[in-house]
Amino acid sequence: MRVAIYGAGAMGTVLGAYISKEGYQIDLINHNRQHIEGLKTNGAKIIGKIEFVQPVNALLPKEMTGKYDVILLMTKQLNNKKIIKGLLPFLNDDAVICTMQNGLPELSVSEVIGKDRTIGCAMSWGANMHGDGVAELTSEPTKESITFSIGKFGNNDQIKFDYIVKLLSLMGTVIIEDNFIGARWAKLLVNAAFSGMSVVTGATFGEVCKNKKSRRLAQVVMKECIEVCKKDNIKIEPIQGKDIVKLMDYNSKFKRWISFNLIPIAMKKHKNIKSSMLRDLERNRNCEIEAINGVVCKFGDKVDLETPINDKIVEITHKIEKKLLKSSFDNLRLFD
């Protein structure tokens, strides 16, 4: 099948390098001319927790030709519908888009191409972009640490679905989810807590865990997500084999103390991850906070449940975008 990663930034470059290394054909497409030139000239250079260089087929969007059977979508969600409409001329009539974005992107993707051509995938690992064809894997390169939770959003083509599973399994463990929305919420819960606090503090996930106040706030963010899902009758699925609700839900001081002390242990394998939203802000770009913490707030409104910490993270992030604040641990005082 003809496959592309559209929006091959840090994570897309790492995934594309792994797939290409196993001899499968995949196009890496990105608007960043400098990064694409680096990929074309020197191949994908993967550094960090693993190091290798892999020749890849890299393209700018304007260099796209022909039609694809599968596109793995890894762009930011800020302009999802516009991006999908722009991809339509490059899709076969029965082509599918597998959205590998954060939050709950299947809704906007399916509004353009339909549920039967929409597949969702939540990734539980991290990478940093260095540019010029270089990307850093920040999670441990093990099958336990690099996981993909994938699920159908409609009556999807089984052959294409299985092929995507096969490609992703070349890099990590692929979990096929019957309750995919529950799996999405498991990843969203972690993203809202740690990517959100990473933006607020300017820190890595490990540094967020080390600081007791930011760890406590991350704990409350997860609790807000759990309560929203309870009220909306959404069952949150385990993530990387761990029942996150059982670990992080609490209704007593003792259970809260246990979950607080479990957080650094649970995040140890991902301690070096720096939120992609924070990297966007550092590059003077708006980030997708509304697609992560903002989703929790919207679902809270839907079920008439307050989400004050998620609300405050969204508020602070927008102030950072407007240069009214900087990402810093000093922002923690704003939660008092």
Q: Express each pLDDT in 204-222 by its tens digit.
A: 999 999 999 999 999 999 9
For the ranges 144-148, 153-157, 239-243, 280-284, the lowest mean pLDDT is seen at 239-243
Domain's final residue, options 176, 202, 234: 176
Rounded distance between C-alpha atoms, residue 335 and residue 316, angstroms:
10
Residue 95 maps to which CATH number? 3.40.50.720
Q: Are 214 and 208 in contact (CB under 8 A)?
A: yes
Rounded distance between C-alpha atoms, residue 300 and residue 4, angstroms:
36
CB-count burial class (<10 Å; 0-12, 13-18, 19+) for 105: buried
- Do 25 and 57 share a domain, yes or no? yes
Q: What is the DSSP code (8-state) at residue 292?
A: T
Rounded distance between C-alpha atoms, residue 63 and residue 89, angstroms:
13
Continuous H helices in 27-152: 33-42, 80-87, 106-113
pLDDT in the model for residue 130: 93
- Do 139 and 261 share a domain, yes or no? no
Q: Which amino acid is at 44?
A: A
- Do 170 and 194 share a domain, yes or no? no
Name the pLDDT band for 324 (thresholds 50, 70, 90): very high
- Do 107 and 216 share a domain, yes or no? no
Name the pLDDT band for 240 (thresholds 50, 70, 90): confident
* Reported pTM: 0.81
Residue 323 maps to which CATH number? 1.10.1040.10
The domain of 160 spans 3-176
- Cβ-based neighbour number of residue 6 at 10 Å: 25
Rounded distance between C-alpha atoms, residue 200 and residue 31, angstroms:
28
- Do 116 and 197 share a domain, yes or no? no
- Do 143 and 230 share a domain, yes or no? no
Tokens of 56: 């890849």
Domain's final residue, options 141, 176, 211: 176
- Do 142 and 262 share a domain, yes or no? no
How many folded domains does the chain comprise? 2
Rounded distance between C-alpha atoms, residue 257 and residue 261, angstroms:
6
Read off φ and ψ for residue 155, nearest 5 degrees.
-90, 75
Rounded distance between C-alpha atoms, residue 68 and residue 59, angstroms:
14
> β-pairing, 118-124 with 147-152?
antiparallel
Is the pLDDT score of 78 beyond 90?
no
- Cβ-based neighbour number of residue 292 at 10 Å: 27
Domain's final residue, options 107, 142, 176: 176
Tell me the three state secondary structure of residue 23: coil
- Do 190 and 320 share a domain, yes or no? yes
- Do 142 and 269 share a domain, yes or no? no
- Do 306 and 247 share a domain, yes or no? yes
Buried b (16+ CB within 10 A) or exposed e, 209-231: bebeebbbbbbbbbbbbbbbbee
Tell me the three state secondary structure of residue 261: helix
Rounded distance between C-alpha atoms, residue 94 and residue 105, angstroms:
20
Q: Are 100 and 128 in contact (CB under 8 A)?
A: no
Q: Are 150 and 96 in contact (CB under 8 A)?
A: no
The percentage of the chain sitting over the pLDDT mark of 90, rounded to a whole number, equals 83
Read off φ and ψ for residue 177, nearest 5 degrees.
-100, 125
- Do 89 and 151 share a domain, yes or no? yes
Rounded distance between C-alpha atoms, residue 36 and residue 56, angstroms:
10
Query: What are the pLDDT digits (tens) for 246-260?
Result: 989 999 999 999 999
Strands (E), the chain: 3-6, 27-29, 44-48, 52-54, 57-59, 68-73, 91-99, 118-124, 127-131, 134-137, 147-152, 173-176
- Do 260 and 131 share a domain, yes or no? no
Q: Are 109 and 118 in contact (CB under 8 A)?
A: yes
> β-pairing, 68-73 with 3-6?
parallel
* 117-135 average pLDDT score: 93
Name the pLDDT band for 165 (thresholds 50, 70, 90): very high
Q: What is the largest CA-CA distance in the chain?
A: 59
